[in-house]
Amino acid sequence: MVANYQDKPLPTEDAVSSDWIIEQLSAELIRQEPVLGHDFIAIGRMSRITKGPEGMRTVFFGLRCDCDTSAIVSFEVAVDKARSQVMEALPQTGQRFFSQLRTFRQMPCSAHNSFRIGSLNQT
Ligand SMILES: [Zn+2]
């Protein structure tokens, strides 16, 4: 007899880890904009060590301009969210990332230089 594990997702496989979110979000970004999507660089280390609000997991992606200025965009997920719930939030998150990318790109480099490492996050 072979037990059917397919129907019973293991808790570890179902866990929403930072790496998993980064993987899914990267794929979503490339799905939405096959060329621009590659401009988002996942900052895995920062995403894993971050201590945000209790029960939240935050992943970070960096954007870079030719003038060497970086901007960081982030996506916050409650740790008790199921993978399917995170997946549902991805399309909207992708759109937000691209609008932040456009804001960053439309800014002249003189403005970039004035904040150097800035954050485009809307809080
Ligand atoms: Zn610039």
**Each residue of 113-122: pLDDT tens digit?**
887 554 554 4
Distance 9 CA to ligand 1 centre (A): 46
Q: Which amino acid is at 111?
A: A
Domains of the chain: which residue ranges?
A: 13-119
Q: Measured between alpha carbons, how far is residue 102 from residues 14, 27, 63, 120 in Å?
A: 34, 19, 11, 11
The secondary element (H helix, E strand) that includes residue 72 is: strand 70-78
For the question of whether the overall pTM of this predicted structure is more than 0.85, the answer is no
Q: What is the pLDDT of residue 55?
A: 79
CATH classification code of 13-119: 3.30.160
Whole-angstrom Cα distance, residue 60 to residue 16? 15
Q: Give the number of other CB atoms < 10 A from CB of residue 40.
A: 24
Distance 112 CA to ligand 1 centre (A): 5
Average pLDDT over residues 28-38: 97
Whole-angstrom Cα distance, residue 54 to residue 56? 6
Distance 123 CA to ligand 1 centre (A): 23
Task: Express each pLDDT in 8-25 by its tens digit.
Answer: 544 555 778 899 999 999
